[in-house]
Chain A
Amino acid sequence: MPSDLVHLYMRIDHLPQIWCPGCGNGVIMRDVAVAIDELIHDEENSINREDIVIVSGIGCSSRAAGYLDFNSIHTTHGRAIAFASGIKMANPKLHVIVLTGDGDCSAIGGNHLIHAARRNLGLTVVCFNNDIYGMTGGQYSPTTPHGDRATTAPYGNVDRPFDIANLASGAGASFSARGDVYHARETIDIIKQAILHKGFSLVDVYSICPTYYGRKNKKGDAVEMLKWQKENLVPTARYYSMSEGERANKKLIGILSFNDYPEYTEEYARIIALCRKAKKK
């Protein structure tokens, strides 16, 4: 008998999930389920379960759309945001949540990401960022750090990595944040805020891949990789109480940028209303 949360929001017949032992994706998927559950039961900002749509692309992360029991669609590689854009445009009242990975949304799907961000279309993108292509055998991705190893970078990665949260923010997203596996409670709160945010919101969640990234780079097992997150990723309140020196080599877990730029479907509805009014005259 699994927990009530799993019973309520996951497709039990698809479980146990097939991610590797210690993979961070299971924790992030649970974070999303808890965030939605808390919003459904929130008296102030209550959302309807029927209004939630989960969209995923291809990759380890994207299996989540199959496990989560909502209106869901598992699409083609890199196109999750493209499908999600169509759904949101057709029915703007829906909460469209894209579950994607670093390869899916910043390599093949990079264009969809930056243009949805530029338009500030009201999607919530949760990127399961494990620094590598896990499903296909550990090739380096656009977020693999410089010098790190992958099956396609046996002497170290030559590329510089993307910082997906800053990339989205630079492209115009009105909400960009970072979460991780270790700080699950903080990450749940960030995902809740991202879902409630009207414009384009992106949460870059640092996952762990002990099987490929961890093993290739001698980072230890899942426990060791989470200990690294505990020591090097710092939630907002503590981060801002640290001195410049203490912050060196540490990364902030929290909201990185936020503004109230107009949301795309609202702007689009305004144009439709304007045209209808002109036609009547």
Chain B
Amino acid sequence: MYGRKKLVIEEKWCKGCGICAAFCPKEVLEIRAEKVAVRDVEQCISCGLCELRCPDYAIYLVNMEE
């Protein structure tokens, strides 16, 4: 994983629509048991497209320092 941000998942809010996983350019995410799950965090480039298109605010990036 490079970039400065950490991927955070708010599992309770996830409705499993799959938008984040489908449009992740690095295939970091997948849907497991109707919830988003991290498949390979090493590939994450902190682009934030998952956060941008998650209708449920269930996935987002935070700065590493926090």
Contact = CB atoms under 8 A, between A and B. Distances in A.
A24 to B, nearest CB: 7
Contact of A27 (B15, B18, B53, B60): B53
A185 B60 CA distance: 15
Interface string A1-38: 11111100010000111011111111100100000000
B17 A221 contact: yes
B23 A21 contact: no
Interface in A61-95: none
Taking residues whose C-beta sits less than 8 angstroms from the other chain, chain A's interface range is: 20 to 34
A19 B58 CA distance: 14
A9 to B, nearest CB: 11
Interface core residue of B10, B51, B56 (most chain A CB under 10 Å): B56
A23 B55 contact: yes
Size band of the interface chain B makes with A: 20 to 34
Contacts of B10: 1-2
A22 B56 CA distance: 8
Contacts of A21: 15-17
Interface centre among B17, B18, B54 (most CB of A within 10 A): B17
Given A222-B17, A226-B19, A16 B56 contact: yes
A184 B19 contact: no
Interface string B20-54: 00110000000000000000000000000001111
Given A2-B13, A16-B12, A24 B55 contact: yes
A210 B54 CA distance: 15
Contact of A184 (B8, B15, B52, B62): B52
Interface string A183-207: 0110000000000000000000000
B55 A25 contact: yes
B32 to A, nearest CB: 15
Interface of B: 8, 10, 12-13, 15-19, 22-23, 51-58, 60, 62
Interface of A: 1-6, 10, 15-17, 19-27, 30, 181-182, 184-185, 210, 221-223, 226-227
